[in-house]
Every structure is written in structure tokens, then in C-alpha cells.
Amino acid sequence: MKLFAHRGVMAHHPENTMTAFRAALDAQSDGIEADVHMTKDGKLVLIHDETIDRTTDGHGQVATMGLSDLRRVNAGVKFEVEEKIPTLEELLELCRGTSLRLNLEVKTDIERYPGIEERLIDVIVNQRLPVEQVVFSSFNHTTLNRLNQLAPEFECAVLLAQPLYDLAAYCEKIGATAVHPHVRTLTDDEILQLHQVGLVVRPYTVKTVPDLERFRRLGVDAVFVNDIEWAKAYSTP
């Protein structure tokens, strides 16, 4: 079972910052998850919320701010360190040449960011990151379908916070080959059924040893965790 560092190693570093992503690489994580939004001037940045209020010392909506405004705020305030909001390019550069999988969660479920799908593909292609290194996910499945139409060679994962009727058929219809369910969303049987039809399953976010053990027993492909070292300590036989 692979481990993905959720927003980087967010247990010990400010979430979605280069320090948190570098910590994942240093801890030999299998993958990194990051949240993607788009600025007013069309730049892709890594931050969880639609506003910068919770995670930085600034205020405002990402969609109404330019990159230069965003780069002036401190994204390390929660840990009393200095951090910039990273651009997607910075993370791609960190991952290039490594074996890390990169899960980019496209945050279009509240703010739609028209054109973000095209921009995302452009940036990844320009930065020459191998296709197989990237996994797109979103709670907005219209975004996934759009990404799949634009670049079907990339893996797309349905993010799921509630059960969905006939999930396997649904994934096929929108072009998704993976499911990222909340840890409580799917039953053991439902997870096994998804595997039987060849879908990749990566539950989020595993924070307890019983959940780690449950997903290892079920043979899921990967789990998202906030603390890679903690998960590794319980993953070694």
C-alpha cells in the first residue's frame, strides 16, 4: 500500500508549501497531494481554500488576486515560519526526475475557475513531467471529464465524500480510472468490488492505526496521510 503526503507533510509543516512537499520527498513518500487554484492572472497556485484567510497572514479570494499579491503573504504563519504560496511549476520542478506520484486536486467545486483545465495541461506539458507521474482528482467531476477529454493519457480520480449509485459505471462514463473516497464513504465490499473491475482506490485521509490496518487488509492502492513517518512506522511488517 503506497503512501501519499496529504498537502505535503502537513502534520509537521505548513500545508501546501514547498517545505511540506520537500519533507514528503525526504521521508520517501510514494506520492504528494496538492490543491490547485487559479489566480486572477491565470497562474496556478497551491493552496487548499478559495481564500487565503485561514492559511496565511493575508485576506482575500485567490480568484480575485494576482500572483504577485499572493506571493507577498506568508503561508507559514501557523508554524511561525516564512513560506510563500507555491506555484504549480515549483512543485513540478521538485517532482521532476523523482519517483514521486503527484496528485493534483483541482479545486473547482466552489470556484469554477473557467479555463483551469486547459491551463493545467499546458503547464504540465511545458514542464515536461511524465504523464504517468500525474494523477488529477476533483470533487467537481465535470472538471475530471473535461481533463479527460483534453488529455485522456492522464489518470483521473473521482473524489467522493458520499456514496454514489453504480460508481464503477459512473467512472467509466466520465473517463475516471481511480476513486479517492473519504475513509468512511465506502464499505469494505464496495472497495473490493471497485478493485474487481480494475479501478484504483486511494482513500483519504487516514489518521488512525485501525484505518491504516483496515486499508492495508483490503489491499487499496494507496492512502493519503498527514504524517508519512507515522504511517511508515505502522506500515513496516
Q: Interface with ligand G3P by CB under 6 A: which residues?
A: 6, 33, 35, 48, 105, 137, 159, 180, 204, 224
Compare residues 108 and 137 and give the one whose CB is closer to ligand G3P: 137
Exposed, middle or buried, 199 (CB in 10 Å: 0-12/13-18/19+)? buried
Task: Provide CB contacts within 8 A for 91, sequence distance 6+.
Answer: 18, 21, 32, 34, 46, 102
Compare residues 123 and 135 and give the one whose CB is closer to Ca ion: 135
- Minimum Å distance from CB 2 to ligand G3P? 14
Part of the chain binding Ca ion (CB under 5 A), chosen from 23-31, 34-42, 87-95, 147-155: 34-42
Instruction: Examine the residue annotation and report whether 48 is marked as an active-site residue of this protein.
Output: yes
- Minimum Å distance from CB 180 to ligand G3P? 5
Give the separation between CA 80 and CA 70, rounded to whole angstroms. 18
Of 35, 83, 117, 155, the one binding Ca ion by CB under 5 A: 35
- Minimum Å distance from CB 159 to Ca ion? 8
Give the separation between CA 25 and CA 5, rounded to whole angstroms. 9
Give the separation between CA 180 and CA 137, rounded to whole angstroms. 8
Which residue reads 503526503 in cell numbers?
Answer: 5
Instruction: Examine the residue annotation and report whether 182 is marked as an active-site residue of this protein.
Output: no
Compare residues 43 and 107 and give the one whose CB is closer to Ca ion: 107
Q: Are 57 and 74 in contact (CB under 8 A)?
A: yes
Enzyme catalytic residues: 6, 48
Binding site for Ca ion (CB under 5 A): 35, 105
